[in-house]
Homo-oligomer: A and B are copies of this chain.
Amino acid sequence: MTATSLIGQSIVKPDARDKALGRTQYGVDLKPRDALVAKVLRSPHPHARILRMDVSKARQLPGVVAVVTAEDTPAVHYGRWVHDRTVFARDKVRHVGEPVAAVAAVDEDTAEEALDLISVEYEQIPEVVDPQSAMAPGAPLVHEDMASYGPSTVRRGGQGNILDQTVISAGDVEKALAQCDVVQRQSYQAPATHHGTIQTHEAVASVDATGKVTLWSATKSAFAVRQTVCLALGLPMSRLRLIVTAMGGDFGARGTAVIEPIVVLLALKTHRPVALTLTRQEEFTGTSYREPAYMELEVGAKKDGTLLAVRGKYTIDTGAYHDSVGHLRPNTAMLVGPYRVPNFHLEGFVVYTNNVPRGHVRAPRAPYPIFAIESLIDAVADKLGMDPVEMRLKNAVQNGDTVPIGAVVEHVGFTQTLQAVSAHLEKEGKPQAPNQAWGVAAGQWSIHPIESGGPTSAAYVKVNEDGTAVLVTGVADQGAGQHALMAQIVAEVLSIPYDAVSLVAADTDLTPYEQATGGSRTTYRAGTTVRLAAEDARRQLISLASERLKVAGADLGMEGGKVFSREAPEVSVTLAALGAASLGSRGGPIMGSSNAGRAELMEAMAKAHGTVDGPIYCCHAAQVEVDPETGQVKVLKYFVAQDVGRALNPKLVEAQIQGGVVFGLGGALTEAVAEQQGHVLNANLLDYRQPVATSVPPIEMTLIEEPSQFGPWGAKGVGEPPTVPVGAAIANAIFRAVGARVTTLPLTPDRVVQALKNRP
């Protein structure tokens, strides 16, 4: 009996083959044959009052089964974090693309025709489309009276168009700056960017004779979306079941209710299945995505590279509605980067405008403040004539440090990532070709104290009569291998093969509560819950074996699908025998469960309150070649060092990091939603340019394993950090190659040419 651990084995994710073969069934593939087709009428104006609306002609069109407007919904405001939305615009529209009505018809053509028959009379009012104007006195108000939205509407401390604002400070920045040998100041800017998932949003809803709704949606936050839809439509949660369908990409697109309230409303109205699939155009005006941001930053250091002070301002254009988790403080705190800075004064603002609503994109809100600080640190290092990695090493955050939000960080592997980059650059050597150079930038993620995000997760593990097992979890798989990993954890705990674990997931009725597959915390948080549930099942198996073998539980081991006496290993019983015996046993069928919190985990976390167990740090290095004539930037090589705590499934970890870098390359070089007076000018994937296979350089990496305390086997989050520093790493490489500093993302050829012209 030798231990053959599954931890560290690169098990293939179960959806890989079907996806590669094009066999995966997505929501539209599963819709009932008699489903009606839904279409949404959307505002053509960024800001306008609705004077009159007439849907009667649309209702009379043969083949139209229902037309719904704000009048068909309860007068409530809803949202996942801020309750500022209604299903349809009621008195005015606040952005281009805002839903004003929807139809359900027997086919798509009829639905389209019905939209044309709805007449809406608008009175345009002045729009406000940038946060600076929106914050100015007398600016048109996007939301005139949020207080009337009801007590559940969270207003986070702002006035006028300011939704949220924060100040974080320590020490005396003025005094510290005055003592610095070098002070650098710069403004940075970054645009709205889109997830650009291949699959557009789609959902299907169906109502049974008792009025209960089943909703199929490709969401990663089934429970949160159920909650939002119930809030929007006044449904008890017992009347709505959400089943998660296959996701054709997430990247943050699938965490909030986008079209679900509309499709559920139409199903309730028509008593027929209704399917709604957004067009690509609607993806750009009818969903929510990464906020444009404006950073002003001032950094001061001593001659030896010690950082003394950071002053910063971070302003987010959140568009007409706010779909992003409201942690402004930790994101503002990112303006100091992963460094020890004794004096800082940071301000953060979230501002409503009449742009398309903003929401989550992979690593929400992190890449832009990091772009600013990592660019400016690089400039300070250059000014001081220091090696940029050396400078970062000198100031790197360490175990036990208190970070700006006031928490203590533990299990920090940042220094090792910097050392790995240093080693890699030494191995690679300085590029000898002209206009080529390496640039570096560090990144960070998950600096919230563990309890701040309210990590809520539950799972249960059944042992079948033949000793195989079933894991029931609310975790949705976005394609990143979450399900492989969760099953791997159960198999490891029960000492059975990976294939002996069946996983069923993400159905609000059937599976235990799960907050979301997101925030890079699925393995860390849900993985821990799953491990505890499997351990609960293991305890029950040991207890049953103890009865049968007449050996005390403490003297029993479990390996290779058997429970055996440690003293006399031939005294053993298979899990298959225990599974079969459990049915008739006093204890009943084996069913282990865990609630995040029920067990020792939360007790330990409570003791560690205020500390951050699994902070994630990384350092990137990009080698670029810049064409000084055209400003074209080519990324030749890429290197990542990231602290992953423990790579439970190394291939999945590598794939996440590679994917994150590629995602970051888009934001760094080409991706920007072109907005003009609230209109989106490039609402298609031809004009909105994402990286393609040929634009991706070889990506090498070193995984640092500085284990966390509470993640399973020490694992930390992986998925979001690799996206964070890409823009800064490439911007710094451009500077090292041709001496030009580009301070606005993406780093397009015209900006590079302009920066070359501005060289001192």
Contacts and interface: CB of A to CB of B under 8 A. Distances in A.
Contacts of A500: 236, 238
A14 B17 CA distance: 39
Interface string A590-604: 010101111000100
A206 B501 CA distance: 18
A565 B501 CA distance: 45
Given A239-B468, A504-B509, 9 more contacts: A14-B208, A16-B209, A21-B209, A23-B209, A223-B465, A237-B464, A238-B468, A458-B588, A588-B597
With most chain B CB atoms within 10 A of its CB, the pick from A210, A457, A515, A596 is A210
B593 A587 contact: no
B606 A597 contact: no
A583 B513 contact: yes
Contacts of A606: 586
Interface string A2-39: 00000000000011111001010000000000000000
Contact of A458 (B510, B512, B589): B589
A500 B212 CA distance: 11
A511 interface: yes
A62 interface: no
Contact of A236 (B212, B236, B466): B466
A502 interface: yes
Interface string A261-286: 00000000000000000000000000
A209 B17 CA distance: 6
A235 to B, nearest CB: 9
A598 B587 contact: yes
Interface in A571-620: 583-589, 591, 593, 595-598, 602, 606
A253 B231 CA distance: 44
A21, A589, A606, most chain B CB atoms within 10 A: A589
A472 interface: yes
A472 B510 contact: yes
A601 to B, nearest CB: 10
Interface string A475-518: 00000000000000000000000011110100111111101000
Contact of A512 (B238, B502, B591, B602): B591
A227 interface: yes
B472 A504 contact: no
Contacts of A499: 236, 238-239
A469 interface: yes
B583 A454 contact: yes
Contact of A502 (B209, B239, B511, B583): B239
A146 interface: no
A17 B210 contact: yes
Most buried by B among A230, A462, A501, A515: A462
Interface in A199-234: 208-210, 212, 223, 227, 230
Contacts of A460: 460, 591, 593
A52 to B, nearest CB: 36
A470 interface: yes
The 4 closest A-B pairs by CB, nearest first: A588-B595, A238-B468, A17-B209, A588-B597
A10 to B, nearest CB: 16
A358 interface: no
B466 A237 contact: yes
Nearest to A238: B468
A241 interface: yes
B589 A513 contact: yes
A469 B502 contact: no
A689 to B, nearest CB: 33
Nearest to A24: B209
Given A468-B238, A504-B241, A584-B456, A589 B512 contact: yes
A79 to B, nearest CB: 15
A468 B588 contact: no
A595 B602 CA distance: 26
B210 A14 contact: yes
Contacts of A472: 509-510
18 contacts: A14-B212, A17-B210, A18-B209, A236-B500, A238-B469, A238-B501, A238-B502, A239-B502, A454-B584, A458-B588, A462-B512, A504-B510, A507-B510, A512-B589, A513-B589, A586-B597, A587-B598, A591-B595
Given A469-B238, A511-B510, A212 B588 contact: no
Given A238-B469, A239-B499, A456-B584, A593 B591 contact: yes
A132 B149 CA distance: 83
A456 B464 CA distance: 13
Contacts of A511: 510
Contacts of A586: 597, 602, 606
Contacts of A227: 465-466
Contact of A470 (B21, B208, B509, B595): B509
Nearest to A206: B25
A17 B515 CA distance: 35
Interface string A118-157: 0000000000000000000000000000000000000000
Contacts of A466: 227, 230, 236-237
Contacts of A14: 208-210, 212
A470 B238 contact: yes
A464 B238 contact: yes
